[in-house]
Chain A
Amino acid sequence: MHKIGVFVCWCGSNIAATVDIDRVVAEAKVQPGVVFAKDYQYMCSEAGQNIIKDAIKEYGLTGIVVCSCSPRMHEATFRKAASQAGLNPFMVEIANIREHCSWIHKDKEEGTEKACVLMRAAVAKVTLNTPLKAGESKVVKRALVIGGGIAGIQTALDIADAGFPVDIVEKNATIGGRMAQLDKTFPTLDCSSCILTPKMVEAKSNENIRLITYAEVEEVSGFVGSFKAKIRKKARYVKEDVCTGCGVCMSKCPSKKGLNEFNMGLNNRPAIYIPFAQAIPNVAVIDSTQCIKLNTGKCGLCEKVCTAKAIDYTQQDEFIEEEYGAIVMATGFRPIDASKFDEYSYSTCKDVVTSLELERIMNAAGPTGGVLLRPSDGKHPHSIVFIQCVGSRDVSGRGKPYCSKICCMYTAKHAMLIRDKYPDVEVHVFYIDVRTPGKNFDEFYRRAAEQYDVDYIKGQVGKVWEEDGHLVVRGVDLIANEQIILNTDMVVLATAIEPDPTARKVANMLTASIDTNDFITEAHPKLRPVESPTAGIFLSGVCQGPKDIPETVSQAGAAASKVIGLLCKDKLTTNPCVAHSDELLCNGCSCCEKVCPYGAISYDTHLINDHGVKETRRVALVNEALCQGCGACTVVCPSGAMDLKGFSNKQIMAEVEAICL
């Protein structure tokens, strides 16, 4: 005998404004099995939860339906409340009458009718619910951080400090990421390297951290608490444990025409190289496409000059396989390709550079030794034009629809640094809006504009071209409402940032959701910003959305604390909504086994008592610790032996029938 309770939430006016709560309650009361129905302003509040708990006890409810916001929001809350009142938490169903109803329908009649249908479907389902018990699974006390930029480093350091081993997998030959390429950081103007390199060193020396550089994660299987990852460590052709980083090989290498990635291709590097002076690990790597020895078999100079005997031309890619309890994505970003914006002549004029290129030009370790020189002729520029929002907030489809968030601030930084060091250089900045929400950010921008006389022009640039050895910029000044033509020596493009191209591949491997811009989706945009909806996958840094350094570091720490919270546990409760096979119905055909992505189904021979007939049969068995509850197996099972707890054939069909009533 079912005793169902229905609880209808007003959510203040969020639901009550477009759904006639009284009618939903009245309708609920006449549903088969319903013995109690009540509404309340905020069902999720303590008082609201108490209404539910009291009703469960008083009426001996066997199941409850809460008509409220999305189950993704408060299902867990109401399950917990039910459980506290002695009802199995899986005897709770949510009718989503907010996101799927009151918020999208303006007409109250329509909204009320739909809310009633959704309530009816949830009641129909809950009458078929069965109490479920969550199982337990192990937690491997080791974390994997994918990406060794500031986000990955900070996350790893925090996890390691809590006493858990962490592996950082970095695709480049050194950790450090984009931050290592920056000259100064806003709004304090402290040297980026000076604050980053100690962290890099700490990551190297921390005994709980293993750095796996020049490596990529190839495969990930498993689930929260026990992921298995296969990591490809690419051949460096240099023995990492032997190389002393002396750099002699670099000076002797005859193949010097490689583009220096660290300096954004503004100068060259040899085929064997250490990415930059503070690289961690401070170990050389050979660019196999550029090395003469590896391509022709001749040369071998580096091997000859290496006193440590670290060169090994026969080195092969190696594979590391490891188990992890949690995985953090910290795959970072890159600037978009500015050559898509022909009007700025980036691909044709050497003196049109991106902000990250300017960053290298201004850096003491950069291609010009930190002296501001025009790339085309190495002369001192007297005028520089900055163009903001190149590819950000773009509706043309060539760029990104979002704001890249950091460009306004770094442009102000560049402008200020140039005006400070070279007061003779005129600086103009074309902008759409200047966005400076952040501690001391607006003060910083005002300093650039007011104290340093940076010429901020509200308006966009239509075209940049080269003429008689200098650049011409044609734009509009929206405030003066006039077209301006500026002669200048350099143009700096504040290019939009986009997630690193590896993000999508990694996200797919981790089954983490990803949005249309390739940023990783968080479990909840406000309440769970550092977790992916996939349990055990956490997000750190720009892979989740554009961020500056302080935000990245705080998010990295937040991700670490979530990981630590997970790794502290000895056991995890598993999702009890898993597949289950009825051995009386099972044909033993193996179709389910073949579609299971987790290898959770196996076969065994069982002595079956089929209504008095005893037979030995081959039957499917579900390993509940491995099953993640997708339900793929249920549909390939023609006899319907395989069913999914919590989403059974009967339950879903009951919902269908209730909706189509």
Chain B
Amino acid sequence: MQAISAKIIERAKELMREGTVTKVAGWKAGEFFYDAEPNIFETAESLDGLVYNRFCAANLSKYMIKNSAFESAGKVLVILKPCDTYSFNQLLTEHRIDREKVYIIGAGCEGMCDIDRVRALGFKGITGIDEKGDGKTLVVHTLYGDGEVNIDDVLVNKCEFCKGKAHKIFDELISDNEDEGPRGDRFEGVRALEAMSPEERFAFWQGELSKCIRCNACRNACPACSCRKCVFDNAASGVASKANTDSFEEKMFHIIRAFHVAGRCTDCGECTRVCPQGIPLHLFNRKYIKDIDEFYGTYTAGEEAGQRGPLITFTQEDREPNSVSDKGGN
């Protein structure tokens, strides 16, 4: 990935110098090496600060809403990983992005690294992580010497269930890897929950959701949660109530959020990745995706722009709501 990183920077500079784009959406190094953060680069020189490595998990497509708005002049270059392109397409479908104002470089991706998983393997005092060069092995530099890990053992959750390495939309590709198709069974976790008894499921969610501190990180990172104003921030909606923590918003937030993105969620996994409390929020979204696939036929939001989502269409033979019975394992 370090190899294509240089190509991306070079190409971005070129596009900016020739005037094709006026700004670039990419990642810059954060305070620590593992917290690469989204950044808008406005000059060719500043692009030297662009990074593309195992820690660029953040999905940049949502930033294109603002950067392709009516009043936004010029074209913006955005670097999208394969999974990010689904979100981009979904936003195109919903008319949130002006395609004419965006230039997409599809960047090849070999999976993003979860620093917490590296730490969990026993590494302490980590100072940096580099590619070994075989595309599989990472070299972990620590205060106490170097070590090696296989990327497969330290993948971010969303990459463990990678949808594939093919970009669904782009203007040009900078990639040196082949599409190997989807990785793993992404509904595994959902199935495991479904197999539990209702009591176990309730206990599971009670445990997980009790951790929620309502920081809104999931909402802010989610490309589908891109409402100009969230219902939960809107006093007039009848559901928001900021002062009282024992409120509707507190209790129902995740359910409503999952419902609002049902049929629109591309399973980009950002919600889970950004949750500071480690709540597996993707299990909500994947449940809806799995249900939609089973009830109404396989549907992948963002597969292509202009699709009609499962909740804004129907067939006369759809199943009845009461037929969704307890799938518990008891």
Contacts and interface: CB of A to CB of B under 8 A. Distances in A.
B308 A594 contact: yes
Interface in A597-619: 603, 605, 610, 615-618
Contacts of B231: 638-640
Contacts of A636: 311-312
Interface residues of B, number: 24
Contacts of B124: none
Given A591-B312, A649-B237, A585 B96 contact: no
Nearest to A633: B312
B227 A638 contact: yes
Interface in A608-634: 610, 615-618
Contacts of B308: 594
A591 B308 CA distance: 9
Nearest to B308: A594
Given A605-B70, A616-B71, A639 B95 contact: no
Nearest to A582: B236
A92 B313 CA distance: 35
Contacts of B313: 594
Contact of A654 (B95, B227, B238): B238
A579 to B, nearest CB: 15
B312 A594 contact: yes
Interface residues of A, number: 25
B70 A610 contact: no
B260 interface: yes
A606 to B, nearest CB: 10
B319 interface: no
Looking at B94, B95, B228, which has the most chain A CB atoms within 10 Å of its CB? B228
A428 to B, nearest CB: 49
B95 A588 contact: yes
A650 B96 contact: no
A589 B238 contact: no
Interface string A267-296: 000000000000000000000000000000
A585 B229 contact: yes
A649 B94 contact: no
B229 A639 contact: yes
Contact of B70 (A591, A616, A639, A649): A616
Contact of B94 (A585, A589, A610, A616): A589
A58 to B, nearest CB: 33
A649 B238 contact: yes
Contacts of A586: 228
B238 A653 contact: yes
B312 A639 contact: no
Contacts of B312: 591, 594-595, 636
A590 B228 CA distance: 14
Contact of A615 (B70, B237, B260, B311): B70
A589 B93 CA distance: 8
B239 interface: yes
Looking at A587, A636, A640, which has the most chain B CB atoms within 10 Å of its CB? A640
A486 interface: no
Contacts of A589: 94-96
A598 to B, nearest CB: 15
Given A585-B234, A654-B238, A590 B227 contact: no
A189 interface: no
Interface in B189-231: 226-231
A519 B283 CA distance: 48
A610 B227 CA distance: 14
Nearest to A651: B238
Nearest to A657: B238
B3 interface: no
A653 B239 contact: yes
Interface in A540-591: 584-591
A322 B311 CA distance: 33
B6 interface: no
Contacts of B70: 605, 615-617
B69 interface: yes
Contact of A639 (B227, B261, B309, B311): B227
B226 to A, nearest CB: 7
Looking at A589, A603, A615, which has the most chain B CB atoms within 10 Å of its CB? A589
Contacts of A595: 312
A586 B260 CA distance: 15
A587 B234 contact: no
A635 to B, nearest CB: 9
A591 B238 contact: no
A243 B294 CA distance: 58
Interface in B278-330: 308-309, 311-313
Nearest to A608: B228
B159 to A, nearest CB: 27
Contacts of A603: 95
Contacts of B237: 640, 649-650
Contacts of B261: 638
Contact of A591 (B94, B229, B239): B94
A618 B230 CA distance: 17
Contacts of A584: 228-229
Contacts of A639: 227-231, 234
B230 to A, nearest CB: 7
Interface string B236-247: 111100000000
Contacts of A638: 227, 231, 260-261
Interface in A326-384: none
Contacts of B227: 585, 587, 638-639
B238 A590 contact: no
Given A591-B312, A650-B238, A654-B238, A618 B95 contact: yes
A585 B235 CA distance: 12
A291 B71 CA distance: 69
A604 B260 CA distance: 24
Interface in B76-94: 94
Contacts of B69: 615-617
A457 B260 CA distance: 68
Contacts of A615: 69-71
A586 B71 CA distance: 17
Interface in B89-126: 94-96
Nearest to B69: A615
Given A615-B71, A617-B70, A618-B95, A587 B238 contact: no
A608 to B, nearest CB: 9
Contacts of B228: 584-587, 610, 617, 639
A112 to B, nearest CB: 29
Contacts of A587: 94, 96, 226-228
A585 B69 CA distance: 16
Nearest to B91: A589
B1 to A, nearest CB: 34
A340 to B, nearest CB: 27
A590 B93 CA distance: 9
A616 B69 CA distance: 8
B236 A590 contact: no
A617 B65 CA distance: 11
Nearest to B231: A640
Contacts of B229: 584-585, 639
Nearest to B237: A640
A640 B71 CA distance: 25
A225 B227 CA distance: 38
12 contacts: A585-B227, A585-B229, A585-B234, A586-B228, A588-B94, A605-B70, A638-B261, A639-B227, A639-B228, A639-B229, A639-B231, A640-B231
Given A588-B95, A649-B237, 13 more contacts: A585-B234, A587-B226, A591-B94, A591-B312, A594-B308, A615-B70, A616-B69, A616-B70, A616-B71, A617-B228, A636-B312, A638-B261, A639-B234
Interface of B: 69-71, 94-96, 226-231, 234, 236-239, 260-261, 308-309, 311-313
Q: Which 8 pairs, one residue from A and one from B, show the smallest C-beta to C-beta distance?
A: A616-B70, A639-B227, A589-B94, A638-B260, A650-B238, A653-B238, A594-B312, A640-B231
Interface of A: 584-591, 594-595, 603, 605, 610, 615-618, 636, 638-640, 649-650, 653-654
